[in-house]
Amino acid sequence: MIKYTIRRLIQAIPIFFGITLLSYLLMTAAPGGPTSALAMDPRIPPQQRQAMAARLGVNDPWPVQYLRWLLGDDWMRVDTDGDGLADIARLIPLDADGDGRPEPAGRRKGILRGDFGESFFQRRPVITMIEEKIGPTLELGLASLIVGLVIGLPVGIIAAVRRGGWFDNVTRVLAVMFNAVPVFWLGLILLMIFSFRLQLLPSGGQCGLVLSGGCPPIYQRLEYLLLPTLVLSTGAIAIYSRYIRASMLDVIHQDYMRTALSKGLPGKDVWFKHGARNALIPLATFLGPAITGLLSGAVITETIFSWPGLGRLGVTAVIQQDFPVVMAVVIMASIATILGFLLSDILYAIIDPRIRFD
């Protein structure tokens, strides 16, 4: 298993770079750029907009931009006399904006040296922005995953055991309904009822307003997590319950289940101990992508509940064409995807001892 895991991780390296290369290519091929919005400000003459784009480096050929993102630009523009301005330029022009002066020396080290760059708009390290968002994203993602599994699994198992009964029928209808309900609609309805009409729960944010300090620990602000978790987990409950139901129905008709029942074991033990464990095996394939979703954030839920997660950050960055931030989010999602699928495989082996990868 260890060998398999290491082999998979090594295989993931070219996949990872392939994803980043493709993402960069697509991003730079998209129309417009980070200075597009300035077109709506007539005070800014077109040549200034061009100059700004040139200084950001977004007019360079995309392979050069990708290389800069990968390896940094401290070797592309080098200051040899210590005046802060570059004297040597490699691959990129010394005077990018055409103002007759060299540009400042490059400061970026590139992601291969652990530097994710700086946001074009927020003017601060992208890694700081990701660090700020990863906590809230994991909070919400984990909570909804747990709620989805804790409710979805028993519902699916019971529905399979009571196949054709009222519980099965009701949960089937509910599953279809919850899976079909748009998240933004459900979110707004829940807000209207629980926050604005009944005033039982907060209407958004990760914590209350403060004049000093930051958000308190999670156990002191669980009420802020309730509604977004509920919204995010409804779809998961619907999917998990139907999936485990189908899997459980396969298991129920296995010989060992019949044998267990005929030996006089209580039904509860047979269904949950023997049946459920085997029915869970296909669910392992679900957990990998679920973790990917968990790390990449939930854009609509985060927007409606003003939740400061990665999803909102990513979408805003794509709209603004804030390349360094987009790429950081892509990296997060790529790593999550690669690790998610690897985890699925490992879980498979843990749940089902018959499976061996070595």
Partner 1 sequence: MHKLLKALLVGALVALVVAPAAAQDDLGNVIIGSTFGSTGVNFNPITSSTATEQDIMNLLYPGLVGVNPETAIIEPNAPGGLAKSWEVSEDGTVYTITLKDYFQWSDGTPVTANDIAISWAAITSGQVETPLAYLTSYITDVRVIDDYTLEVTIPEPSCESVGNFYFQAFPSHLVMDADGNVDWQAVNTMTMSSPEDLEVGPYALSAQIPDQQTALVPVAEGQWPAEQEGPILNDGYIQKVVGDQTVQIEQFLAGEIDFLTFVPPDRRADIRSAEGISSYEFSPGDTWDYFAVNHANPENPQPARDENGNLIEQDPHPLFAVREVRQALAHAINMDDVITAAVFGEGSKMQSMYAPGTWVYNDEVPFYEYDPDRARELLAEAGWTDEDGDGVIECHGCAHAEEGTPFSFTLYTNQGNTRREAFGQIIQDQLAEVGIEVDFQTIDFNVLVDMLDQQTFDAVILGWRNSYPFSPDYTQIFGTSGDVIGGSNSVSYVSEEMDELMRRALTLPGCDPQERAEIYGQAAQLFHEDLPYIVQFSTNGMYAWQDTLQGVDPYPANLLWNLTEWTRTE
Q: What is the nearest approach in angstroms of partner 1 to the Cβ of residue 11? A: 35
Please list every residue from 134 through 153 that binds partner 1, using CB under 8 A. 146, 150, 153
Distance, CA of 226 to CA of 139 (rounded, Å) = 11
Q: Closer CB to partner 1, residue 215 or residue 265? A: 215
Distance, CA of 190 to CA of 101 (rounded, Å) = 58
Q: Closer CB to partner 1, residue 5 or residue 306? A: 306
The three-state secondary structure class of 171 is helix
Please list every residue from 209 through 238 that binds partner 1, using CB under 8 A. 209-216, 219-223, 226
Q: What is the nearest approach in angstroms of partner 1 to the Cβ of residue 278? A: 13
Size of the site for partner 1 (CB under 8 A): 79
Sign of torsion over alpha carbons 99, 102, 107, 109: positive
Which residue from 3, 10, 29, 43 is in contact with partner 1, where contact means CB under 8 A?
A: 43
Stretch that binds partner 1, among 5-13, 17-25, 30-38, 283-291 (CB under 8 A): 30-38
C-beta pairs of 51-55 under 8 Å, 24+ apart in sequence: 51/97, 51/98, 51/99, 52/97, 54/96, 54/97, 54/98, 55/96, 55/97, 55/103
First to last CA, the chain: 6
Strand locations in 176-285 (E): none
Is 36 a binding residue for partner 1 by CB under 8 A? The answer is: yes
Which residue from 5, 28, 48, 285 is in contact with partner 1, where contact means CB under 8 A?
A: 48
Which residue from 5, 28, 195, 285 is in contact with partner 1, where contact means CB under 8 A?
A: 195
Stretch that binds partner 1, among 15-23, 123-131, 173-181, 332-340 (CB under 8 A): 123-131
Which residue from 58, 186, 191, 251 is in contact with partner 1, where contact means CB under 8 A?
A: 191
Stretch that binds partner 1, among 67-75, 186-194, 246-254, 343-351 (CB under 8 A): 186-194
Please list every residue from 84 through 103 that binds partner 1, using CB under 8 A. 84-85, 99, 101-103
Residue 65 near residue 27, CB atoms below 8 Å: no
Please list every residue from 235 through 274 that binds partner 1, using CB under 8 A. 268, 272
- How far is CA 112 from each of CA 15, 45, 183, 350, rounded to the nearest angstrom? 15, 37, 38, 34
Residue 115, both tokens: 């530097």
Q: Closer CB to partner 1, residue 5 or residue 50? A: 50
The three-state secondary structure class of 202 is coil
Cα–Cα nearest to 59, from 85, 16, 24, 97: 97
